[in-house]
Structure 1
Amino acid sequence: MGTVVLDITMSLDGFVATQDHDTERLHAWVFSDAGQTVFGPEVRELMETSWTGAVIAGRRTYDVSGGWGGDPPVPVPYFVISHDVPDDAGERFTFVTDGVRSALEQAQAVAGDGGVYVMGGADIARQFLAAGLLDEIRVHLVPVLLGAGIPLFGGVGPVELEPPRVRCFPRRTELTYRVAGKAA
C-alpha cells in the first residue's frame, strides 16, 4: 500500500479557514496570478509529480469546489466523507457515509501501490490524526496571519512527528512531516 498523506493549507498562526469557513486568502497560491479559476504552476507541478492513486476529501471541500465541475484536479477516484449522498454526484466520486476508516479502506483498495491524498478541512484532518491513519502531513504554510478562525490541530495530540522536509516557494512554504513510528 502507498503512503497516506494529509495535504492542507494553513496560515502562519495555525488556521485553515476564517470563522465563516472562507479560505480564499489561504488558497491564493493555488490559482494563477491572473486570479483565474485555473491552477497555477505550483499546483500543476504538484499534480504532475504526484504518486496519488486516490483522493479523500471532506464534504465541505466537495461543496465549496462545486464538485470541481465533475472534473477534479487529480485524475483519480475521489472518496468524499459525508453524512449523505447528493443526487448530482459525478461518476468520479464515491460518497462514504460510514467514517474515515471506511473511506481509507475503499481508497486504498483502488489506489493499489499509489498513495492516498487526504484533503479537506480541519475536521477531516483531526479525524485522520486521532485514528492514527496518516503516514505524512504536508502543510502549505502561507504568509498570512488570520488572527482567528478554524485551527488545524486543535484538540488532537499528542502526535509525534519527524523533522520536516522543507520546500520554499514564492507564496508558500511546504512542510512535510512523517508521522513518527509509521513505516516508510
Structure 2
Amino acid sequence: MGRIIFDTATTINGWIADEQNSLAWLFAVDGGTTPDDEVLPTNAGVLVEGSTTYEWVLAESDILNHPEKWHDFHGDRPTFVFTNRDLPVPDGADVTFLRGNVADALPQLRAAAGEKDIWVVGGGDLAGQFVDAGALDEIAVSIAPVLLTGGAPLLPRRVESDRLRLVSAKAVGQFARVVYAVTPPSA
C-alpha cells in the first residue's frame, strides 16, 4: 500500500493561493511553472483535488477547450475531486467526483492507487481532512520567495510538533523544499 502525501507550493507566509484563488504568484517565480523533477511525487498513482483546485486547473489552461492539456499535469492517472457540485470533465480525463468525507473515500482511493502513492494536490482544507482522518503520511512543501497578504492557507489545521518529523530540507532553485512525515494522532 502506498502513502498519502500532500505535496504543494506555498508562500513564505503560508498561502497556497491568493485571494482570487490564483497561483499567478507561483508562476512568476523562476522555476514555478516547470518544477524541478526532484520535487514532484514520482510514485503517485492517484491524484486528489478539491473543487476549487480542480476548477482553477481547468480555467487556467482552458482545458475544457483544449483537453489535451489535461495530460500535461495529470497524465493518465485517475483524479478524484471532492465536491458537492456537478462539474465538467475534460474529454479523455479519468475524473471521479466524490461527495462526503475523506475517511469514507479512503478504500476507493487506495484501491485505485494500488501499491502507488495518493497525491493530495490541493487544497489545504482537503489535506486537512486527510489529517483529521489520520490518513496523511507526508507533507512536502516547496516554499516560494513570495509573501501575500491573504488567500488560501497551506493547511488550516493545528498539528503539533509531536506528529511531524523532519525528513529533509534543501534548496531547490528559488524554493526551500521541506518534507515532514506525519504520524497519526495518539488515541
For the superposition of Structure 1 and Structure 2, which TM-score range results when normalised by the shorter chain?
0.7 to 0.9
- Partners of 1:9 and 1:27 within 8 A in 2: no
Q: Distance in 1 between matches of 2:139 and 2:97?
A: 23
**Alpha-carbon shift at residue 153 of structure 1 (Å):** 3.0
The aligned runs of 1:96-111 (5 Å cut-off) are 96-111=98-113
| Other-structure match for 2:130 | 128
| Other-structure match for 2:80 | 79
| Other-structure match for 1:119 | 121
Question: Normalising to structure 1: TM-score of the pair?
Answer: 0.81
Q: Deviations over 1:47-74 (max 9, x none)?
A: 5x71111111111111111176342413
| Other-structure match for 2:48 | 56
| Other-structure match for 1:37 | none
Change (3 A) 1:155 1:3: closer
| Other-structure match for 2:3 | 3
Change (3 A) 1:10 1:41: closer
Change (3 A) 1:146 1:16: same
The aligned runs of 1:1-184 (5 Å cut-off) are 1-28=1-28, 29-31=31-33, 40=34, 42=36, 44-47=37-40, 50-66=42-58, 69=63, 70=67, 71-72=70-71, 73-75=73-75, 76-88=77-89, 90=91, 91-158=93-160, 160-180=163-183
**Any unmatched runs of 5+ in structure 1?**
32-39
Change (3 A) 1:155 1:178: closer
Q: Between 97-106 and 51-60, report the one with greater CA deviation.
A: 97-106
Equivalenced residues, count: 172
Change (3 A) 1:85 1:105: farther
Determine what percentage of the aligned residue pairs are the same residue.
28
2:165 alignment partner, SS class: coil
Q: Deviations over 1:97-151 (max 9, x none)?
A: 1222244322210111101100112221221222221000011111111133332
2:53 alignment partner, SS class: helix
**Alpha-carbon shift at residue 45 of structure 1 (Å):** 4.9
Matched letter for residue 122 of structure 2? G
Question: Normalising to structure 2: TM-score of the pair?
Answer: 0.80
